[in-house]
Structure 1
Amino acid sequence: MLWIFWLVFAYFLGSIPFGLFIGKICCNCDIRTEGSKSTGATNVARLCGFKYGVAALVLDVAKGFVPVLMAYQYSHNWIFISLVAAAAVIGHVFSIFMDMKGGKAVATTIGVFLALAPVATFYSIVFLLAVIALSGFVSMGSLTFAVALPFFTLVTGSVGMVPLACGMTVLLFWTHRENIRRLAKGQENSWKKKK
């Protein structure tokens, strides 16, 4: 029964659309209908300004980090921890506050793995930032992160988290499917441009 509580808690926390709330409260806009129409930090930064984008990023990372860290204090069972982590990320993608729609889950995945495999996450973030800097595309950096995460999770010794990392890779590619199509057609917008 306690496992169910933790899963519901993680899903609920993951479902909170901080980007949407920041957009409505701080710049009086519905980010679901403007810019890239994403509730993520990149769209918040484009529409509301850099500092609000950073706030959305930190909060989205926290909603992955906090439930996993708390659950880890309760049990070190890797299956349990993986389920809690997955619940937080799934909550972000399928939010009960947005008719089961949501964001792309990069920040929340980062939060989850900062709690579980911080070294692997650090290296993966380095690749994410490098690709964004070189390409100008946040989506390309995010996809690079998705590929790098299971690799670095394995090579840094967090073997128990590799299945979860692989699952997150699949999910992140799915949430970025429209970005992948735009990248293939040369229609993806640089983070430096407003849509």
Structure 2
Amino acid sequence: MNNNLLWILGAYLLGSIPTGLLLGKLYGIDVRKEGSGNIGATNLYRTVGRKVGIMTLVGDCLKGLLPVILAWKLGLLEPMQAWIGLAAFCGHVFSVFLLFKGGKGVATALGVFLALSPLAVLGALAVFILLVAIWRYISLGSIVAAAVMPLIIWFRPHSIELLIATALISAIVIIKHHTNINRLIAGTESKFKA
């Protein structure tokens, strides 16, 4: 098998590990049946507690960060790093271990972009923090940060592959938040409580 395909498959499988579901089970709950039903950090934070929410956030972030960092360390160029990051992200969102279901991908995307473009992360993170501080909606901050990330990448010198991967990740994150968008419009979305 082609080495590039092995990298992509390995990144996808790593991304597919359902961190939040596994951590929830350690605490005796199936997080898919609690709160929003999502396996991501926000739902773990709300249903199991701050510590487990943070552990989930870190674990999901590492799934995106580690394969891209390893690829970089081994000399793979940015275009291949971008596809590896996209594969890890898709593993989280469409996990082979959960019948191609999964989380919304925000933390895994964060890990991918921390490796690929940390300065772009700073811009998107500033948008996220500002929106959450003003309106207290994690989902709103996530959606808008995802939407601005391709714009930030566009204005920095990067490969076309990174721009394409960024646009795909952004679109998937926004689509996966469709129920949150409906609740935001209806005024029924849960606000974040620190």
Q: TM-score range by the shorter chain?
A: over 0.9
Structure 1 counterpart of 2:8, which letter?
L
Specify the alignment match of 2:187 in structure 1. Answer: 186
1:157 offset after TM fit, Å? 3.2
1:153 offset after TM fit, Å? 1.8
Report sequence identity in percent.
36
Structure 1 counterpart of 2:84, which letter?
V
1:177 offset after TM fit, Å? 1.0
TM-score (normalised: structure 2): 0.93
Deviations 1:84-127 (CA, angstroms, capped at 9, x unpaired): 11110110011111121100000000100000100111121121
Specify the alignment match of 2:131 in structure 1. Answer: 131
Q: Distance in 2 between matches of 1:46 and 1:118?
A: 28
1:52 offset after TM fit, Å? 1.0
Matched, 1:169 2:145: no
Partner SS, residue 33 of structure 2: coil
Structure 2 counterpart of 1:177, which letter?
H
Q: Which moved more, 1:93-102 or 1:159-168?
A: 159-168
Structure 2 counterpart of 1:98, which letter?
L
Matched, 1:101 2:101: yes
1:192 offset after TM fit, Å? 2.4
Q: Distance in 2 between matches of 1:96 and 1:162?
A: 26
TM-score (normalised: structure 1): 0.93
Q: Distance in 1 between matches of 2:67 and 2:78?
A: 14
> Unaligned 5+ residue runs, structure 2?
none
1:191 offset after TM fit, Å? 2.1
Q: Distance in 2 between matches of 1:191 and 1:15?
A: 27
Specify the alignment match of 1:90 in structure 2. Answer: 90
The answer on whether the counterparts of 2:78 and 2:159 sit within 8 Å (CA) in structure 1 is no
Q: Distance in 2 between matches of 1:167 and 1:78?
A: 16
C-alpha RMSD of the superposition: 1.5
Structure 1 counterpart of 2:74, which letter?
Y
Q: Distance in 1 between matches of 2:159 and 2:15?
A: 25
1:81 offset after TM fit, Å? 1.8
1:75 offset after TM fit, Å? 4.1
Specify the alignment match of 1:17 in structure 2. Answer: 18
Q: Distance in 1 between matches of 2:91 and 2:132?
A: 26
1:159 offset after TM fit, Å? 5.1
Q: Distance in 1 between matches of 2:158 and 2:151?
A: 10
Deviations 1:121-173 (CA, angstroms, capped at 9, x unpaired): 11211211211111111100001111121122233433542222211111111
Aligned residues: 192
